[in-house]
A and B are shown apart, each in its own frame.
Chain A
Amino acid sequence: MKRIVYIFVVLISLMFLFPIAFTVANSLMPYGQVISNKVNFIPNQVNLQQYYSIVINKTEYFKFFLNSVKITSLIILGQILLGILAAFAFAKMKFPGSDILFMGYIFLLLLPYQVVLVPNFLFFDKVETLFNIKIFDTHLALILPGMFYSFGVFILRQFIRGIPDEIIEAAKIDGAGYATILFRIILPMLKPALFTLVILTFIDNWNLIDQAVAFIETPEKMPLSVFLNDIYDGDKGVFFAGAVLYIIPAILIFTKGEKYLKEGLILGGDK
């Protein structure tokens, strides 16, 4: 019985791997085989023609790649900085109304982006008319909502709650202020939660689509996701190599920090 279940789980896991394996295999096929109407799983001949063609002929690919790098890294930075400060206060420096405010933060997480889009849009519109700053059709329209999304506050707060109060009390007796406690004592303990935050924020924003469809018009300003999708219809011959190059950073970051996810995602005990 155990053996049957074991084999079953292994088979399922291979099915999970299949779409990725298919994409990699197709990226190594010669141009002609990929664009044929027949769906192929195994390359007739393994070569790097598609990759070569992206590097030589499709240099704009890397421009979109950089768009995505820029958007994603700025959002991660904001998530970390804003998240650490707010999460610490929500977990260890409660003030009147802090629990209700935090519930508002959590509720935001439950809304699909298409609902959140409405207040974002109204805010951008207001700022543009009041201060004459251009936000629509700029990366700011993607970065601002990403930075202030409450996910980082949520993940870090759950983790900080698990740190015993005695540690903070002891530091207070030694005369440390809250800022010192946060940056000297709490911050070094946050490694698993910070890794978790970076990985999940990276994954979410590396795959940024909805916001760009709503707020970006100029094709050159699109993130890689939208560009890659256009390639499939226009130049299928290099799509799969483009997809693999798009996947690589995500897999690298993910496998590097995956072991922290388990610790960083222990969100229980919140009653």
Chain B
Amino acid sequence: MFNKLKEYKGFKFVLPSFIGFLLLYIVPFFGGFKVSFSKTAFNKGFVGFANYLYVLDSSAFQLAAKNTALFMIIAFPLIIVLSFFLALCIYELNIPKMIKLFIVIPIAIPSAAVAGFFKRAFGVTGWNLLDSEYALFVVILIFLWKNTGYNLIIYLAGMSQINKSAIEAASIDGANYLEKLRYIIIPLLTPTTVIVGIITIINSFKVFKDILMIQGRYPNPKIYMLQHYLTNKYLSLKYHHLTAAAYIFTLVILAIVFLFLLMDRKYAKKVGEK
């Protein structure tokens, strides 16, 4: 009995954070299921999956899901390539710290403070991309501007840990730069890329802040995101739809994360075999 208690010594340290985690997130997360199966939050009648079906079938949800997916599919590879390329240049060419700082500093700038610039740069009469069908590209541009620096720091940290002797050995064997990049640098940076990928997913949801500051709760339909859908459902007190939509969203993210981990595993195995 005493030994058993001893094993849980560490839990004492986790406890303060755990209490909040449990009460604010875990318990109500499961408690919300009940709401998602109720007629409304105020009428507890059981309706099965009706709310889920309603959400999946609604055109607003479909539009939001389509835009969010489109944004991710374009922005995700773009930012990874851009930040990798810039990190590589800075790493190889000894580019001064100042230049790096310029790319990194947008991380720190609050969305509301630059919303004025973006409204003036892309939303004035005669040049109003924000209200055109190209609005998503402006949002992607904002996303790249704001988050490339974050990934750049992580890539630079990863690159600084590369063992130079492997690269030198390849040079002696006559490998050119592209070969070294393909067979040594990129494979060695795979764990870093996985982290960059996860951070990118986390940050990609925050682009909502910028859209909200620039166009409010009901933006151009081209940049209406799932976050808009959820916020508006919440503010219009449609909690039964809100919870159903939130669980669908969570399930999708869970699936993506699972896929990511699977890819990472597969890669680790491949390297292990070699």
Contacts and interface: CB of A to CB of B under 8 A. Distances in A.
Given A112-B249, A117-B231, A265-B154, 18 more contacts: A9-B89, A9-B95, A13-B100, A16-B105, A19-B145, A37-B125, A89-B14, A98-B11, A115-B253, A118-B234, A121-B28, A122-B28, A122-B35, A123-B24, A178-B13, A209-B212, A210-B212, A268-B192
Interface residues of A, number: 96
A210 B106 contact: no
B174 interface: no
Q: Which of B8, B106, B112, B119 has the most CB of A within 10 A?
A: B112
A203 B109 CA distance: 8
Interface of B: 7-14, 16-18, 20-21, 23-29, 31-32, 35, 86, 89-90, 93, 95, 99-121, 124-125, 145, 148-149, 153-154, 156-158, 160-161, 191-192, 195, 198, 201-202, 205-206, 208-209, 212-213, 217, 226-227, 230-231, 234-235, 239, 242-243, 246, 249-250, 253-254, 257, 268
A16 B102 contact: yes
A95 B208 CA distance: 38
B106 A123 contact: no
A213 B110 CA distance: 16
B105 A119 contact: no
28 contacts: A9-B90, A9-B99, A13-B99, A37-B124, A88-B13, A98-B11, A104-B21, A104-B26, A110-B201, A113-B227, A114-B226, A115-B230, A117-B230, A119-B25, A145-B24, A178-B13, A213-B217, A213-B231, A213-B235, A225-B110, A229-B112, A232-B115, A247-B108, A251-B108, A254-B108, A262-B160, A267-B154, A268-B161
B130 to A, nearest CB: 13
A75 interface: no
Contacts of B250: 111, 115
A93 B13 CA distance: 9
Contact of B21 (A5, A148, A213, A258): A148
Contact of A95 (B10, B110, B121): B10
Interface of B is mostly: helix
Given A22-B117, A209-B212, A243-B114, A119 B21 contact: no
A93 B116 contact: no
Given A110-B257, A262-B157, A19 B102 contact: no
Nearest to B25: A119
A12 B86 contact: yes
B157 A266 contact: yes
Interface in A4-26: 5-6, 8-10, 12-14, 16-17, 19-20, 22-23, 26
B264 to A, nearest CB: 9
Contacts of A122: 28, 31-32, 35
A44 B93 CA distance: 39
Nearest to B68: A112
Contacts of B205: 112-114
A95 B209 contact: no
A187 interface: no
Please indicate which of the listed interface residues B17, B106, B107 has the most CB atoms of chain A within 10 Å of its own CB. B17
